[in-house]
Structure 1
Amino acid sequence: MSLESVPPKYAQLVQALQRRIESGDYPPGSLLPSENQLINEFGVSRPTVVAALRVLREQGWIDSQQGKGRFVRGRPAMTSMEQPRPGQAYLIGPESSSDGEVVEAAALAVPNRIAALLDIDPKSKAFLRRRLVSRNGEPTEIVSVWLPLELSEGTDLTSADPLDEGLREHLQSRKGVRFDHIVEQIVARMPTTEEAKRLGMLKNVPLLCVYAAVRDAAGHALVVAEVLLPADRHELEDAYPIG
């Protein structure tokens, strides 16, 4: 989940507690304030506190001991190594930071998987912005961004020019929507004839397909990014702490 844009209350509490841990207010080995203390100090509900503590525990900032409470572990060593996941990277980075061209920008009928991720009826229309990304003069991936028609209105997504800001920032400033979390799926399949032609793929080479479905804090679907990566040119790596 993303905790970077103006987040819900639990994520704001996560950030506040992380800052205190990093500043030394809560040094490693110290006992974290109790749930009741956090509720009273920050003026939030118990579910908000419980959700924030769960995130901190999962990310490795704190540890829980039965009957004793929650203890500070400090800033996780893995945090500085974390990179945006594949789908997230294409949603937060400006298009102008990479070479490529917009090959489609139109309202089209959505494939079944995209319809399911956008929570809309199959074969209904959504806006598609598809870009062929290149490195060193060679095509490397196809990035397709699907969003409801009403969300594309009044944006620069219909332009063939690359965006000078990330999609998240663009939609936030133009439409007032805020990304809260991303559900990412990775599957493998063989490319279509058109995909293989655009990517200059060899015969019998599969695609790695990354689907990143963006939702707001209420769980409503906002955007789906589909990233197509030739399997012989890419590998996906992730790093995370063991709780």
Structure 2
Amino acid sequence: MALWLQVKTALAAEIEGGAWRPGERLPTEPELMERFGVSRFTVRQAIASLERRGLVRAEQGRGTFVHRDLLAYPISSRTRFSRNLIEQGFDPGGELLLQEVIPASEEVAEALAIAPGALVAHRRGIGTADGIPIEVASVWLPADRFPDFARVKAEHATYTATFAAYGIPDYLRLWTRVEGRLPTPEEAEALRQLEASPVLAVTRLDADLQGRPISYGRSAWSGERVVFDLQDGSRALVG
């Protein structure tokens, strides 16, 4: 049996036997080289084979992790990020990358039914599941309806609670558009994946119960970690 196949067989047996939990990082290349008495090239062959089998995933700059099943993310008229993850046993989290108030572009203005150039609150951040990035997203909201949004959002864990603070007790997803493409360098870095790995690009619009748009978003989701589940006849366009 070839050396790389011996390493791969041993690691696969340990993974399938529960020696490492889903999401746990495997030993480093030098550690595996020392353990099995093989070269770096042999270790990389073994890891690549495990990745093709779907047992592990390699994250650029972080290491190799035991693969966790794809997150089945429901898209419906009541899509909620935190709730979707919690119901599947994932711990939702995130990192804020940018927060600003800017003039609305024509695209954003049209979606939010406001005048081009009107001020909007813009947030860009990374959404995580169990600390693993699954999306990098930008969200725009009308600044006149959500004054001092940065401060109010900082006081609440979710958008649902933030909207409630502005007197919007509930809201609906009007439509969602999903397209497959390759990530930009910035998206690949934020998602900790290779630029050759595809993402699911999502554009969406949320509105209050009177149908008035309140939030327009664009995001890139890791195609290796997430699958979308369209529910309750939600209006979704796939390109």
Is there any run of 5+ residues in structure 2 with no aligned partner, and where?
1-72, 234-239
Is 2:77–2:173's contact at 8 Å kept on the other side of the alignment?
A: no
- For the aligned residue pairs, the C-alpha RMSD in angstroms reads 3.6
Equivalent residue in structure 2 for 1:172, among 164, 167, 175: 164
Is 1:108–1:125's contact at 8 Å kept on the other side of the alignment?
A: yes
Q: Comparing 86-95 with 186-195, which one deviates more in the overlay?
A: 86-95
Per-residue deviation, 1:151: 2.5
Equivalent residue in structure 1 for 2:198, among 206, 210, 216: 206
1:143 aligns with 2:137: yes
Is 2:82–2:92's contact at 8 Å kept on the other side of the alignment?
A: no
Per-residue deviation, 1:216: 3.0
State the percentage of identical aligned residues. 19
Q: Aligned partners of 2:229, 2:189: CA distance in 1, in Å? A: 27
- Which structure has greater strand proportion? 2
Per-residue deviation, 1:94: 11
Is 2:76–2:173's contact at 8 Å kept on the other side of the alignment?
A: no
Is 1:126–1:149's contact at 8 Å kept on the other side of the alignment?
A: yes
Letter in 2 for 1:215: A
Q: Aligned partners of 1:226, 1:160: CA distance in 2, in Å? A: 19
Q: Aligned partners of 2:223, 2:143: CA distance in 1, in Å? A: 32
Where 1:171 maps in the other structure, the secondary structure is helix
Letter in 2 for 1:127: A
The equivalent residue for 2:208 is 216
Change over 3 Å in CA distance of 1:240–1:92 after alignment to 2 = closer
Letter in 2 for 1:223: S
Where 1:150 maps in the other structure, the secondary structure is coil
Equivalent residue in structure 2 for 1:105, among 83, 90, 99: 99
Q: Aligned partners of 2:220, 2:138: CA distance in 1, in Å? A: 8
1:231 aligns with 2:230: no
Per-residue deviation, 1:206: 2.5
Per-residue deviation, 1:191: 2.2
1:163 aligns with 2:162: no
Equivalent residue in structure 1 for 2:128, among 130, 134, 147: 134
Q: Aligned partners of 2:76, 2:83: CA distance in 1, in Å? A: 11
Letter in 1 for 2:213: A
Q: Aligned partners of 2:225, 2:81: CA distance in 1, in Å? A: 18
Per-residue deviation, 1:229: 0.3
Change over 3 Å in CA distance of 1:160–1:104 after alignment to 2 = farther
Q: TM-score normalized by structure 1? A: 0.51
Is 1:92–1:169's contact at 8 Å kept on the other side of the alignment?
A: no
Where 1:116 maps in the other structure, the secondary structure is helix
Is 1:188–1:208's contact at 8 Å kept on the other side of the alignment?
A: yes
Is there any run of 5+ residues in structure 1 with no aligned partner, and where?
1-81
Change over 3 Å in CA distance of 1:168–1:120 after alignment to 2 = same
Q: After the TM superposition, which residues 61-100 of structure 1 pair with which residues of structure 2 at under 5 Å, given as runs? A: 85=76, 88-90=79-81, 98-100=92-94
Q: Aligned partners of 1:180, 1:240: CA distance in 2, in Å? A: 12
Question: How many pairs are equivalent?
Answer: 157
Q: Aligned partners of 1:91, 1:118: CA distance in 2, in Å? A: 24
Where 1:197 maps in the other structure, the secondary structure is helix
Where 1:163 maps in the other structure, the secondary structure is coil
Q: Aligned partners of 2:156, 2:125: CA distance in 1, in Å? A: 11
Change over 3 Å in CA distance of 1:211–1:151 after alignment to 2 = same
Q: Aligned partners of 1:126, 1:91: CA distance in 2, in Å? A: 24
Is 1:91–1:167's contact at 8 Å kept on the other side of the alignment?
A: no
Change over 3 Å in CA distance of 1:154–1:106 after alignment to 2 = closer
